[in-house]
């Protein structure tokens, strides 16, 4: 696992460096650790409040620890109409968590997101950014099994 200071330093002199550093941090740790936000403020010469604001502005970024597998359910109107609510309930039941939570073993996090851009196959989820189209509640156990 890379050191967060090394990751941040590698983006120090690049255009859009803060955002790029946050994406790289999240890629490495699955979230942006608090100490990394403080380091971003120092390296990029912004206030801690500004650095935190950038880290929390984008829904894709997270400042809270998340599971190894991040399941994101599209909550757009088309997916909603196609049965997204039933799919999310199936994930909650099988994982024993609610949306926004992570399983006790740190393996799964369940989140909602806006349109994934895969409307041809609604309802849609992503697991670590990989889309799964046309999901039904009865497919949930098989999907989770693939993650084990």
Summarised one tens digit per residue, pLDDT across range 4-55 is 999 999 999 998 899 999 999 999 998 999 999 999 999 999 999 999 999 9
Q: How many CB atoms lie within 10 A of CB 14?
A: 11
What counts of helices (H) and strands (E) characterise the chain? 7, 4
C-alpha distances out from residue 117 to 6, 10, 13, 112, 144, Å: 33, 31, 32, 14, 22
In whole angstroms, what is the distance from residue 11 CA to residue 27 CA? 14
Q: How confident is the model at residue 116 (pLDDT cuts 50, 70, 90)?
A: confident
pTM of the model: 0.81
In whole angstroms, what is the distance from residue 94 CA to residue 64 CA? 22
| Burial tier of 104 (Cβ tally within 10 Å: 0-12, 13-18, 19+) | exposed
* pLDDT at residue 124, as a whole number: 95
- Give the tokens for residue 123: 């309802």
* pLDDT at residue 129, as a whole number: 86
């Amino acid at each position: 696992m890379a050191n967060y200071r090394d990751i941040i330093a590698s983006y120090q002199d690049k255009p859009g460096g803060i955002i790029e550093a946050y994406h790289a941090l999240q890629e490495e740790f699955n979230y942006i650790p608090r100490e990394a936000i403080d380091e971003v403020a120092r390296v990029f010469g912004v206030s801690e409040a500004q650095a935190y604001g950038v880290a929390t502005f984008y829904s894709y970024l997270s400042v809270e620890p998340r599971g190894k597998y991040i399941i994101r359910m599209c909550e757009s109107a088309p997916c909603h109409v196609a049965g997204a609510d039933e799919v999310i309930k199936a994930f909650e039941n099988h994982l024993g968590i609610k949306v926004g939570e992570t399983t006790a073993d740190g393996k799964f996090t369940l989140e909602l997101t806006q349109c994934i851009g895969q409307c041809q196959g609604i309802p849609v989820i992503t697991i670590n950014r990989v889309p799964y189209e046309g999901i039904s509640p009865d497919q949930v156990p098989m999907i989770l099994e693939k993650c084990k």
